[in-house]
Amino acid sequence: MQDTKERIVSLADQLIKSRGYNAFSYKDISDPLEIKNAAIHYHFPTKTDLGMAVIDVEMQHFMAGTGKLAAQPEDKQLKFLFDTFSKKHKEGLVCLMGSLSPDYDTLPEPLQDKISGLSAAILEWTTGCLERGREKGLFRFEGEASDRALLVISNLLASLLLSRVMGSKVFGRITHQLLRDLGAGK
């Protein structure tokens, strides 16, 4: 039954994005799934193994999602990124990197490396999207595309975090301003 394994990863993913890596335990997973904590250790011997699996799945989803859109115009592609974050916002979650980066120094090295890998992939993709979009006249902005991509990611990440602290309207205010700065939808 691959089913249990997938449910464990899925719940762990949600827990990381809602409460943070250091604030959830195997009990938070075993209780709702009505299994014993040892069942989780059977699939994922250590919490690090589970964390790795969560990031692997996130990476796979990202690759699959962007892969499907590769032929679309860049403004549509960028919308995919914004929609991904918008969905998390509606669920009251933050993004993986937003959740894991404050705890980064407390995480085991293999986990750190996976997180860095994921962030590099997202930055690379966003950079390419903005770069090509600007050439086509879909976006208008100054400076290096990679710097602008960093700004976009930085804002999306923080908008989810700040929504929690400052109220949910913050997400829309930040993303709206962000899109305006890119000269998108113009």
Best CA proximity match to 54, nearest among 98, 1, 16, 28: 16
Site for a second copy in 105-124 (CB under 8 A): 105-106, 115-116, 119-120, 123
The answer to whether the CB of 41 falls within 8 A of the CB of 103 is no
Q: How far is the CB of 171 from a second copy (least distance, A)?
A: 10
3-state secondary structure at position 106:
helix
Let me know the angle formed at the C-alpha of 147 by 142 and 150, rounded to the nearest 5 degrees. 125
Q: Which of 42, 177, 185, 186 binds a second copy (CB under 8 A)?
A: 177
Q: Is residue 6 at the binding interface for DNA, with CB under 7 A as the rule? A: no
The answer to whether the CB of 155 falls within 8 A of the CB of 172 is no
The answer to whether the CB of 169 falls within 8 A of the CB of 159 is no
99 binds, among DNA, a second copy, none (CB under 5 to 8 A by kind): a second copy
2 binds, among a second copy, DNA, none (CB under 5 to 8 A by kind): DNA
Site for DNA in 39-68 (CB under 7 A): 39, 41-43, 45-48
Angle at which helix 74-90 crosses helix 47-69, to 10 degrees, equals 140
Q: Is residue 19 at the binding interface for DNA, with CB under 7 A as the rule? A: no
Dist CA 82 CA 65 (whole Å): 12
Best CA proximity match to 117, nearest among 161, 63, 155: 63
Q: How far is the CB of 160 from DNA (least distance, A)?
A: 23
Dist CA 186 CA 180 (whole Å): 9
Site for a second copy in 7-66 (CB under 8 A): 18-20, 22-23
Question: Phi and psi dihedrals of 93, rounded to 5?
Answer: -100, 165
Site for a second copy in 77-106 (CB under 8 A): 92, 94, 97-106
Binding site for DNA (CB under 7 A): 1-2, 4-5, 24-27, 34-39, 41-43, 45-48
Binding site for a second copy (CB under 8 A): 18-20, 22-23, 92, 94, 97-106, 115-116, 119-120, 123, 142-143, 147-148, 150-151, 153-155, 157-159, 161-162, 164-166, 170, 173-174, 176-178, 180-181
